[in-house]
Amino acid sequence: MKNLFIMQIMLSVLLVSCAENGKENNKVNATDQANSGSERLEEWMRAAKEGDPGAQWHLGRLSTEIKEDKNAMGWYRLAANQGYPPAQLSLGLMYEVGKGVPQDDKEAIAWYRLAADQGYPPAQWSLGLMYKEGKGVPQDDKELVKWFRLAADQGVSRAQLDLGRWYASGRRGVMQDYKEAIKWFRLAADQGEIKGQTLLGYMYRQGNGVTQNFKEALRWFTRAAEQGESTAQFELGVLYELGLAVLQDNQYAHMWYNIAASNGLEGAHKSRAKLAERMTPSQIAEAQKLARECVAKEYKGC
């Protein structure tokens, strides 16, 4: 059984190795990849036995990938007991979801806190979520904001996005502050958070916390819409319908409303139907054609 487990880990390492190397060097053959994966595994096994927490954590991750959760727990615990933050976070997650151990929110929090207290951003975010949801602790907005801010200051984009939302709306115990909201939305948007890009565009469209700027709104809505964000696609429809930062064009407005509706945005079909009342059958047909072409291009360059 032990040898089988080792072979399973080796297979997982090989897959990781192939994924990392495949795009960089298509000439590497399967034998070379196998040798590379085997050598990496041997290095991790040797280092883990010597007490290296990073190697122990890597073996835990591989065990998790092949659903050997009890083995993963063993490796994570060895590394976590040495104070290794990624392993403490992983151990906390195993307790939170009940993989390899009985589900236990309080034990999850204990491990998240150990990593968070060392300044590990993902653990700070995870601990904040526990306070947000009241899992294992009483729901506490003050603790939630505290841990999310610590994570956001270190670049956790999801924490930045939520801080922006709370400042924009004055929720979770913070005073409404549009400028602070803009700050966090921009940080999240610059890291590729499409909701952050959409919300930043909305702030520019409304002039909340910034000088109203429809061109900036268009830029941010476009970035998010091209990644399939339905709210941003709807907002592009609004800009085209009203002629804000673009030439007024009912066909393109209909196209974006149509795409947003097809992506499940509630209410987009009503805007499309209302606009269609002012369009001729040929204009609607052209708008539908534009929508099909845009979808085929994965929303790029529409």
Q: Note the pLDDT tens digit of each residue in 53-102.
A: 999 999 999 999 888 899 999 999 999 999 999 999 999 999 999 999 99
Which tokens sit at 90?
């992983």
pLDDT band, very low/low/confident/very high, at 232 (cuts 50, 70, 90): very high
- Name the maximum alpha-carbon separation found in the chain: 76
Q: What pLDDT is recorded for position 40? A: 80
Average pLDDT over residues 176-196: 97
Q: Note the pLDDT tens digit of each residue in 138-148.
A: 999 999 999 99
Taking a C-beta distance cutoff of 8 angstroms, is the pair 169, 160 a contact?
no
- If you average pLDDT over every residue of the chain, what do you get? 90
Assess whether pLDDT exceeds 50 at residue 20.
Answer: no
pTM attached to this predicted model: 0.85
Please give the Cα distance from 40 to 11 (Å, whole number): 12
Please give the Cα distance from 61 to 73 (Å, whole number): 10
Q: Name the percent of the chain lying above pLDDT 70.
A: 88
Assess whether pLDDT exceeds 50 at residue 3.
Answer: no
Q: Name the percent of the chain lying above pLDDT 90.
A: 83
Residue 226 phi, psi (nearest 5): -70, -15
Q: What pLDDT is recorded for position 41? A: 81
Average pLDDT over residues 198-227: 98
Average pLDDT over residues 184-209: 97
Assess whether pLDDT exceeds 90 at residue 51.
Answer: yes
Look at domain 1-14+31-137 and name its CATH class.
mainly alpha
User: Residue 172's CB: how many other CB atoms inside 10 A?
Assistant: 16
Q: Note the pLDDT tens digit of each residue in 241-253.
A: 999 999 999 999 9
Q: What pLDDT is recorded for position 35? A: 54
- For the chain, domain boundaries: 1-14+31-137, 234-302
Closest CA to 144 of 169, 163, 120: 163
Report residue 11 CA to chain centroid gap.
28
User: Residue 232's CB: how many other CB atoms inside 10 A?
Assistant: 28
Closest CA to 73 of 114, 107, 118, 123: 107
Question: Residues 57, 85, 196, CA angle at the centre, nearest 5°?
Answer: 105
Query: At residue 111, what is the residue type?
Result: W
Q: What pLDDT is recorded for position 23? A: 47
Assess whether pLDDT exceeds 80 at residue 12.
Answer: no
pLDDT band, very low/low/confident/very high, at 34 (cuts 50, 70, 90): very low
Q: What pLDDT is recorded for position 38? A: 73
Average pLDDT over residues 212-233: 98
Q: What pLDDT is recorded for position 101? A: 94
Q: Note the pLDDT tens digit of each residue in 246-291.
A: 999 999 999 999 999 999 999 999 999 999 999 999 999 999 999 9
Complete DSSP assignment for the chain? -HHHHHHHHHHHHHHHHHHHHHTT-TT--HHHHHHHHHHHHHHHHHHHHTT-HHHHHHHHHHHHHTT-HHHHHHHHHHHHTTT-HHHHHHHHHHHHHTSSS---HHHHHHHHHHHHTTT-HHHHHHHHHHHHHTSSS---HHHHHHHHHHHHHTT-HHHHHHHHHHHHHT-TT----HHHHHHHHHHHHHTT-HHHHHHHHHHHHHTSSS---HHHHHHHHHHHHTTT-HHHHHHHHHHHHHTSSS---HHHHHHHHHHHHHTT-TTHHHHHHHHHTTS-HHHHHHHHHHHHHHHHTTTTT-
